[in-house]
Structure 1
């Protein structure tokens, strides 16, 4: 397994339960983006659970039948026919089946000040950095699930949360929208693009924005800028396999099979519409079972 998010951990559980030797390779802590999520309300079996707690529960299950967690950054996969050679930054591992679950990462805005003030007011994780903005005014850029859910989380800490969205309506789930509109600490700026992140030598002081309907520019004061404008797949090491589309997403069929026999993909790295913990878990179960069938058929 390359990646120890919900998809990778579920695949590891299924494959190891079939009595295969399984390694989960990840360059970070197991759980993936669950560790950056304060509260999860849409995972069956829990009315509400903290993201890191769910990650730990999944990990405990994933290693219950002998799967091992291996820290490392995968650099490439070479198709050797009957086996695949996985090269990391520290070793090479040969395996009959590879399941890719490397997930995705948040896109950047690509505006002035974004890189300059990274870690000094610019963030892509409210759970990680929200505590630094207690009783301060912050901006959230985006209108999807992540933007609104993380914005709601920030209202528990910040003085105010201003959501800047390039469209005139949100794309988040209706229940999240209703909570956001009802929250007195949340404000909304519609049809607006962030042009520049402003600050002094040490910290963010605000954003310069432009209304994409009128062209009018203005400045919004803020101590923090939290950016949620989409995702990029983490597939750079796999592009030579020819399993990604033009945007880098891995294409699979319903059995999680890629174009390369013996290579599967699960979770947010796949080309699909819904990227949720529940879908990743289902895909992990499918891939784990398909790995069993593939190995049995190629003995």
Structure 2
């Protein structure tokens, strides 16, 4: 392999791709301003900060539904905000969501703005059918918004050398090997169910060991 970078070219017999991934934004005003201060993209990471509080989950896919179910065991109430009139998730997951007493669904609704001071206090919702908007206010720190509109793995540098899954992640075997001999992938750039630091570290250890074995062969 030849890796091109700012300092020149580097030759390597093996490469481990670890460029990570970025959660897709929902796009409402105030999303970036309150990221980490009321806006989260990971229920298993930040859910405990909202124990006994009200949370909103944006998204209608399997990930959004599964995280809503997780949050329902922590938060006092969970509201799923769907921009369409139906879920994209599988029927089995949707039925579990609808069966939970403390989960409600707002269909054909979008969050268009989040505002407040140090912590957000007001959410502005839009009725996607009528176009009308209305604002709801809360005590500071009383609610959270969890965004699940997808994740974008950063595969651009190697996408011509690997196979990609429908979620955009790189497909590997258990040794973190891609379809190109000597090219391995680790962390959030892979297609995987759980994108967390602990799984990325595990991937990295396996990929490094596999790359070493590849070089010895």
TM-score (norm 1): 0.52
Summarize the Cα distance change of 1:221–1:155 in structure 2 as closer, same or farther, 3 Å threshold: farther
C-alpha separation in 2, matches of 1:161 and 1:252: 33
Aligned-residue CA RMSD (Å): 4.0
Q: Could you say which residue in structure 2 is the equivalent of 1:49?
A: none
Structure 1 residue 188 and structure 2 residue 105: aligned? Answer: yes
Distance in 1, Cα, partners of 2:172 & 2:97: 37
Q: Secondary structure at 1:214's aligned position in 2? A: coil
1:54-80 deviation digits (Å, cap 9, x = unpaired): xxxxxxxxxxxxxxxxxxxxxxxxx33
Give the distance between the partners of 2:10 and 2:98, measured in 1 at CA: 51
1:105 maps to 22
* 1:174 counterpart residue number: 91
CA contact (8 A) 2:169 2:192 kept: no
- Which one has more relative contact order, counting CA pairs under 8 Å at least 6 apart? 2
The answer on whether the counterparts of 2:182 and 2:211 sit within 8 Å (CA) in structure 1 is no
Give the one of 34, 50, 60 matched to 1:117.
Answer: 34
- Is structure 2 residue 81 aligned with structure 1 residue 164? yes
Q: Please give the alpha-carbon distance, in whole angstroms, between the structure 2 residues aligned to 1:226 and 1:202.
A: 18
- TM superposition score normalised by structure 2: 0.69
Structure 1 stretches lacking a partner, 5+ long: 1-78
Distance in 1, matches of 2:38 and 2:47, equals: 10
Which aligned runs of 4 or more in structure 1 are off by greater than 4 angstroms?
84-87, 92-95, 241-245, 249-255, 264-268, 288-296
**Larger relative helix fraction:** 1
Instruction: Give unmatched runs, 5+ long, in structure 2.
Output: 195-199
Task: Give the number of aligned pairs.
Answer: 195
Distance in 2 (alpha carbons) for counterparts of 1:125 and 1:243: 30
